[in-house]
């Protein structure tokens, strides 16, 4: 140990005065120049935590790392030393703590303690947070169901922190089941219900799993089946001979029903005066004659069944 000072004589006694005193001693002691930084990492990543100290003494320095105030004895540590001859900070000491394939057990507050012959200094504590992207445990399956029944879709995900589950229909959150409060989510059972299913509930449902690390989605198609039915009541028609008669059979159902027409319980004889429009929902008869009068039957059918309705066409001669 070398001390800087001068020798003086007072009243016959010699005294050695140390130049700098305690202030000089404090620069010999390691000074933390770069503190470890708080870090957020994904599970499985490699993380490095760095601490750098300087000293005006060339006394060797050493480092101890602590996690949550407990010394890390088996840590993977790299230390680097750099000497600077013409500087107040004669020695620069860097310690790098390597954490490989981090897991949730690596979360905590890390701190380095740098020591030399003149003392020790403690860095600030840096927090390591380990997150994990959501991953699905259950994904919703495509579902086909009849109107009036209850639809059940399942979805569950894990991650760190635990992801939040939300649902969308056709890319939006404002959909009939949500507006009409027929939608029920049971997080403890990972189940999404739609009560009293309607045709308008048909579409693509997306389960969204989201946490601070990211998000993902899984889709399922809900197909709603409905027996054919008449959206509007069938109306009898009366036209004057030579006018155009339009018979309407507006059908509903899922899958969309196929429509056919008969006349007087027999095949409809189609001429150049007969036209069909709107997927056979409109039967148009141009230049109606007396022979066109009669009972017209609209037959609509899909995989769930068949429905029939009758329209009576009356053709009168002009007064």
| CATH number, domain with residue 177 | 2.60.40.10
- pTM, full prediction: 0.68
Asked if 196 and 237 sit in the same domain, the reply is: no
pLDDT at 14: 46
Asked if 113 and 70 sit in the same domain, the reply is: yes
Asked if 119 and 99 sit in the same domain, the reply is: yes
Residue 4 lies in a domain: no
69 Cβ contact partners less than 8 Å away, ≥ 6 residues apart: 111
Asked if 150 and 104 sit in the same domain, the reply is: no
pLDDT at 12: 54
Asked if 202 and 172 sit in the same domain, the reply is: yes
Domain carrying residue 185: 139-227
Instruction: For residues 182-195, give the mean pLDDT.
Output: 87
Tell me whether strands 305-316 and 294-302 are parallel, antiparallel or unpaired.
antiparallel
Residue 13 lies in a domain: no
Asked if 107 and 164 sit in the same domain, the reply is: no
Instruction: For residues 84-97, give the mean pLDDT.
Output: 82
Is residue 3 predicted with pLDDT exceeding 90? no
> What is the three-state SS of 140-174?
CCCEEEECCCCEEEECEEEEECCCEEEEEECCECC
Residue 287 lies in a domain: yes
Do residues 248 and 167 touch, judged by C-beta distance below 8 A?
no
Instruction: For residues 125-146, give the mean pLDDT.
Output: 96
Is residue 194 predicted with pLDDT exceeding 90? yes
Asked if 163 and 144 sit in the same domain, the reply is: yes
Residue 25 lies in a domain: no
Which residue, 227, 254, 278, sits at the end of a domain?
227
Asked if 235 and 260 sit in the same domain, the reply is: yes
Residue 23 lies in a domain: no
Asked if 36 and 68 sit in the same domain, the reply is: yes
Which residue, 131, 162, 181, sits at the end of a domain?
131
Instruction: For residues 215-244, give the mean pLDDT.
Output: 95
What are residue 99's phi and psi, to 5 degrees? -120, 115
Asked if 209 and 284 sit in the same domain, the reply is: no
What tokens appear for 6 in the block?
């001068």
Residue 1 lies in a domain: no
Instruction: For residues 66-95, give the mean pLDDT.
Output: 88
Residue 319 pLDDT level (bands cut at 50, 70, 90): low
Do residues 110 and 129 touch, judged by C-beta distance below 8 A?
no
Other CB atoms within a 10 A radius of the CB of residue 115 amount to 17
What are residue 187's phi and psi, to 5 degrees? -60, -35
Is residue 24 predicted with pLDDT exceeding 80? no
pLDDT at 8: 46
Residue 5 lies in a domain: no
Do residues 263 and 294 touch, judged by C-beta distance below 8 A?
yes
Which residue, 113, 131, 149, sits at the end of a domain?
131
Q: Summarize pLDDT for 148-167 with one digit per residue, the tens.
A: 999 999 999 999 999 999 99
Asked if 41 and 127 sit in the same domain, the reply is: yes
Residue 22 lies in a domain: no
- Total number of domains in the chain: 3
Residue 67 pLDDT level (bands cut at 50, 70, 90): very high
């Amino acid at each position: 140990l070398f001390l800087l000072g001068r020798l003086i004589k007072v009243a016959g006694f010699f005294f050695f005065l140390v130049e700098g005193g305690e202030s000089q001693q404090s620069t010999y002691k390691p000074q933390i120049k770069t503190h470890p930084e708080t870090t957020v990492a994904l599970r499985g990543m490699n993380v490095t935590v760095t601490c750098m100290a300087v000293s005006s003494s060339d006394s060797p320095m050493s480092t101890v790392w602590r996690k949550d105030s407990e010394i890390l004895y088996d840590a993977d540590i790299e230390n680097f030393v750099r000497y600077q001859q013409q500087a107040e900070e004669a020695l620069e000491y860097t310690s790098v703590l390597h954490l490989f394939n981090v897991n949730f057990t690596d979360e905590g507050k890390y701190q380095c303690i740098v020591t030399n012959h003149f003392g020790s200094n403690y860095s600030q504590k840096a927090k390591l947070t380990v997150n994990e992207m959501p991953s699905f445990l259950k994904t919703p399956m495509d579902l086909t169901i009849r109107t009036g029944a209850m639809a059940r879709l399942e979805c569950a995900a894990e991650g760190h922190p635990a992801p939040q589950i939300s649902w969308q229909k056709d890319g939006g959150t404002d959909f009939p089941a949500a507006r009409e409060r027929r939608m029920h989510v049971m997080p403890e059972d990972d189940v999404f219900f739609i009560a009293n299913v309607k045709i308008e509930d048909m579409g693509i449902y997306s389960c969204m799993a989201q946490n601070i690390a990211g998000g993902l989605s899984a889709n399922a198609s809900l197909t709603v089946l409905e027996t054919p039915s008449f959206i509007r009541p069938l109306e009898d028609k009366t036209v004057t001979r030579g006018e155009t008669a339009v018979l309407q059979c507006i059908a509903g159902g899922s899958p969309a029903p196929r429509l056919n027409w008969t006349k007087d319980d027999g095949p409809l004889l189609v001429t150049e005066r007969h036209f069909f429009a709107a997927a056979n929902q409109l039967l148009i008869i141009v230049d109606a004659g007396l022979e066109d009068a009669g009972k017209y039957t609209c037959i609509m059918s899909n995989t769930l069944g068949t429905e029939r309705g009758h329209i009576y066409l009356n053709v009168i001669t002009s007064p």
